[in-house]
């Protein structure tokens, strides 16, 4: 008998038994169940299990927060429950039965961008570091940057652009690969398609606005502009989906004996042609419209209202999974405007959630058992991973979550009110300042201070008033 035997038996009992489990898998901190009848799960009893730090439902999956022990716990659970191990992809497919059309659309969008997040975060940190050494005048009484004084750091600055360019300028390659993988098409064809959107043969997307001499492919009866889609999100999504659609349909009708030749040929070539004649221009227009709308909303006379709503509502969006939509908007803002004023608010919201947990650590400072959950949760939240903090502490008590939402609102007002822009997506916590454009770092630091102080104070105040009865859970 292991330390996980009794908790596994309890979880199996309160989740509705083996017959209620359609699929089960796990991630870094959570057990992910697809239940045949979600109403049979006794949430109150499940959360009373000592090893369980919280529960929530997202993307059709009932998720039980275990923490860093989840892998070992999962191995014991599947043995005791007598259920087969399920891959994450299989669990996602099974979870579709519990989703409405909007949840399915968001889930598809999340599945496209989630595999790209490690590269985007690394790219954001690299661009941020290049800002520090290449754009901020830190030396010789504030007259020179580090790269102007040091040949070594000048070389580092130039070298790191190799990675930054690979991540952001060639982003369509990652998007078309991810879509091909998700939709069951040939991943190498997805990669090839992405390369055709960013090929050096094409006019760089960043140069289109500054030139009237656009090269063309001349077919005699028609001409196609040779425009690249570097860093463009929506054209790549449209193209990737068309490729996957054509390939998967062709496989069903082309005999196996010739499918190796016919399917790739008649899937890739039409897709590339349609991408450069129809989907690319349409996607570019849509992306430009979205980015301009968001940017105009945040910089207009009513920008403070947009900021207040987004800052207050972002954490609840995380619970529903709707926050995945912001990845596409951020990337589109970056490609159109050279930066994003949306992402700083996301980083500030994460910091605010961590600060509320920090206040709970102070409030429950004599509770050693509570600190075993809250201290790691606060640390991970400040480093950009909010789930242990939100679901393990803040939603459990309720009032810290509300305090964090209000603190995020205040910090968002400071950020948007001072036109803070980030170069890119980065680590959504305290290290996020590295992604902020140099001229905005001071104001972002002030916004970060607001995101730390306001939730901390409000959480303590709420704990001493009737607000400590406030809860998001029922």
Please check whether residues 15 and 38 belong to one and the same domain.
yes
Tell me, what DSSP letter sits at residue 18? G
> Within a domain: residue 432?
yes
Q: Of the spans 45-49, 182-186, 189-193, 327-331, which averages the highest pLDDT?
A: 189-193
Give the pLDDT confidence of 16-56 residue by residue, as tens digits: 998 998 888 887 678 888 888 888 999 889 988 888 877 87
C-alpha 141/C-alpha 32 separation (Å) is: 55
Structural domain contains residue 61: yes
Which tokens sit at 311?
């800052």
Collapsed DSSP state (helix, strand, coil) of residue 128: helix
Residues 242 and 336 in one domain: no
Both 310 and 428 in one domain: the answer is: yes
Residues 276 and 322 grouped into a single domain: no
Is 303 found in the same domain as 278?
no
d(CA 62, CA 426): 29
Same domain, 317 and 432: yes
474 pLDDT higher than 50: no
Q: Which two tokens stand for residue 180?
A: 């091909």
| 86 shares a domain with 218 | no
Residue where a domain stops, chosen among 77, 99, 121? 99
Share of the chain above pLDDT 70, in %: 91
Q: What are phi and psi of 118, to 5 degrees?
A: -55, -40
Domain of residue 69, residue span: 5-99
Asked whether residue 222 carries a pLDDT value surpassing 80, the answer given is yes
Q: What whole-number distance in Å separates Cα of residue 326 and Cα of residue 87? A: 27
Same domain, 318 and 465: yes
On whether both 90 and 33 belong to a single domain, the answer is yes
The answer to whether residue 474 sits within a structural domain is: no
Picking from 428, 429, 369, 410, the residue whose alpha carbon sits closest to that of residue 393 is 369
Q: Identify the DSSP state of 277.
A: I
| β pairing state of 61-65 and 21-26 | unpaired
Please provide the average confidence, as pLDDT, over all residues in the chain: 85
Confidence category of residue 89, pLDDT binned at 50, 70, 90: low
95: pLDDT strictly greater than 60: no
21 in Cβ contact with 15 (< 8 Å): yes
Round the CA-based radius of gyration of the chain to a whole number and report it: 25
- Of these residues, 6, 9, 10, 27, which one is catalytic? 27
Q: Does residue 333 fall inside a structural domain?
A: yes
Which sign does the torsion angle of CA 107, 112, 113, 119 carry?
A: positive
> Quick one: 308 and 241 in the same domain?
no
Q: How many domains does the chain have?
A: 3
Supply the pLDDT for residue 328: 77
CA–CA distance, 358 with 371 (Å, rounded to integer):
10
Residue with tokens 């009794």: 6
Neighbours of 100 (CB within 10 A): 8
Indicate the pLDDT class of residue 468, thresholds 50, 70 and 90. Answer: low
Rounded Cα gap, residues 172 and 186, in angstroms? 16
Q: Is 118 a domain residue?
A: no
- Give the CATH number for residue 39: 3.30.1360.60
Residue 36 lies in a domain: yes
Q: Is residue 123 one of the residues assigned to a domain?
A: no
Return the minimum-mean-pLDDT range out of 85-89, 171-175, 345-349: 85-89
Neighbours of 105 (CB within 10 A): 12
* Annotation marks residue 27 as catalytic: yes
With 90 as the cut, is the pLDDT of residue 269 above it? yes
Same domain, 196 and 59: no
Please tell me the predicted confidence (pLDDT) of residue 121: 76
Domain closes at, from 288, 307, 342:
288
Is 63 part of any domain?
yes
70 and 12 fall within a common domain: yes
Residue 366's pLDDT is 81
Domain's final residue, options 81, 99, 117: 99
β-bridge mates for residue 224, sequence order: 217
Q: What is the mean pLDDT of residues 430-449?
A: 88
Contacts of 324 (CB under 8 A, 6+ apart): 106, 109, 110, 113, 114
Average pLDDT for residues 61-89, to the nearest whole number? 79
Strand order in the sheet with 30-35: 21-26, 30-35, 61-65, 54-58
Q: Quote the pLDDT of residue 372.
A: 75
Residue 49, token pair as written in the block: 């299990």
The yes-or-no verdict on residue 246 having pLDDT over 80 is: yes
């Amino acid at each position: 008998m292991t330390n996980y035997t009794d908790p596994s038996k309890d979880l199996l009992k309160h989740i509705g038994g083996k017959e209620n489990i359609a699929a089960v898998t796990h991630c870094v901190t959570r057990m992910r169940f697809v239940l045949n009848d979600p109403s049979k799960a006794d949430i109150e009893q499940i959360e009373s299990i000592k090893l369980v730090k919280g529960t929530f439902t997202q993307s059709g999956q009932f998720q039980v927060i275990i923490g860093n022990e989840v892998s070992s716990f999962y191995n014991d659970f599947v043995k005791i429950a007598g259920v087969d191990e399920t891959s994450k992809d299989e669990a996602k497919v099974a979870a579709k039965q519990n989703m409405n059309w909007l949840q399915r659309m968001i889930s598809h969008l999340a599945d496209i961008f989630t595999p790209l997040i490690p590269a985007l975060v690394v790219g954001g940190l690299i661009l941020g570091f290049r800002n520090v050494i290449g754009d901020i005048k830190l030396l010789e009484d504030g007259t020179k940057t580090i790269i102007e004084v040091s040949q070594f750091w000048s070389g580092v600055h130039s070298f790191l652009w190799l990675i930054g360019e690979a991540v952001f300028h060639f982003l369509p390659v990652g998007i078309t690969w991810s879509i091909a993988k998700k939709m069951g098409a040939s991943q190498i064809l997805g990669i090839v398609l992405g390369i055709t959107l960013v090929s050096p043969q094409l006019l760089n997307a960043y140069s289109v606005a500054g030139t009237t001499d656009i090269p063309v492919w001349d077919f005699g009866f028609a001409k196609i502009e040779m425009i690249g889609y570097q860093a463009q999100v929506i054209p790549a999504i449209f193209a990737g989906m068309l490729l996957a659609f054509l390939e998967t349909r062709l496989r069903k009708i082309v005999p196996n004996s010739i499918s190796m030749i016919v399917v790739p040929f008649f899937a890739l070539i039409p897709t590339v042609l349609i991408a450069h004649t129809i989907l690319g221009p349409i996607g570019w227009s849509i992306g430009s419209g979205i980015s301009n709308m968001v940017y105009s909303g945040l910089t207009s006379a009513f920008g403070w209202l947009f900021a207040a709503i987004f800052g207050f509502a972002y954490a609840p969006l995380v619970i529903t999974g709707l926050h995945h939509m912001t990845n596409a908007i951020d990337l589109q803002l970056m490609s159109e405007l050279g930066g994003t004023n949306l992402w700083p608010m996301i980083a500030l919201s994460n910091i605010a959630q961590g600060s509320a947990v920090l206040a709970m650590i102070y409030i429950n400072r004599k509770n050693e058992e509570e600190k075993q959950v809250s201290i790691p949760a606060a640390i991970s939240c400040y480093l950009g991973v909010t789930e242990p903090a939100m679901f393990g502490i803040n939603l459990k008590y309720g009032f810290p979550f509300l305090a964090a939402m209000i603190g995020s609102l205040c910090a968002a007002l400071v950020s948007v009110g001072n036109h803070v822009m980030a170069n890119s997506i980065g680590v959504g916590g305290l290290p996020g300042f590295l992604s902020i454009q140099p001229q905005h770092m001071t104001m972002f630091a002030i916004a970060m201070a607001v995101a730390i102080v306001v939730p901390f104070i409000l959480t303590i105040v709420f704990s001493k008033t009737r607000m400590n009865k406030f809860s998001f859970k029922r």
